[in-house]
Amino acid sequence: MTKTIPPRLILGSASPRRLELLAQIGIKPDALRPADIDETPRRGETPRDYVRRMAAEKAAALVLETDEAALTADTTVAVGRRILGKPADRDEAAAFMRLMSGRRHVVLTAMALRHGSRTALRLVETKVRMRAIDEPSLQRYLDAGDWQGKAGAYAIQGAAAAFIPWIEGSFSAVVGLPLSETAAMLAAIGIHPVSAGVSP
């Protein structure tokens, strides 16, 4: 019986968090190949449509060999129909945090897995509640700089964890990659965790 060789996994992301998350479940990409696309939301585009489009466009933008599969993802924070992307500066980060203070928002993470002529797409939604954030706490948070480069101006595994008493859904999806769903998608094309010291 011939053993099927799984495709080489290309992670289409420069995010160290996504690399760490994959390592957590024993998946090590064969290469990192970040996709360079325009991430501007379209006029009237809903947060869910936006995040799905971003993941799919990142996967489509990568040049793959026949023995490669590409995993891409996009995470965004949504308050109602408003998309909170990566803040441009401290003032925008403050505005985002004030908007979320004392209320719930949704973190949307879409994953795309491109293999051969097919692209599988999944969307995971997680509800997050932030406690009311007083101004001194907000300024200390902004001073720490943890908001930089983060969708919605925060990372749940960082300093902002002090403001989040409750989530409903996937914690790893809020970090950047829903692990259960990702593992299932990869398993469907023959990519499984590799145990240390065990030959594949």
Q: What are the residue numbers of the active site? A: 74
Q: Is 151 within 8 Å of 75 (Cβ atoms)?
A: yes
Residues ≥6 apart with Cβ < 8 Å to 163: 97, 101, 130, 131, 133, 137, 141, 154
Helices (H), 62-178: 90-100, 135-144, 171-175
Residue 158: phi, psi to the nearest 5?
A: -110, -150
Give the span between the Cα atoms of 90 and 94, in whole angstroms.
6
Which token pair is 40? Answer: 């501007």
Q: What is the DSSP string of 102-119?
A: TSEEEEEEEEEEEETTEE
Between CA 29 and CA 33, with CA 31 as vertex, the angle to 5 degrees is 115
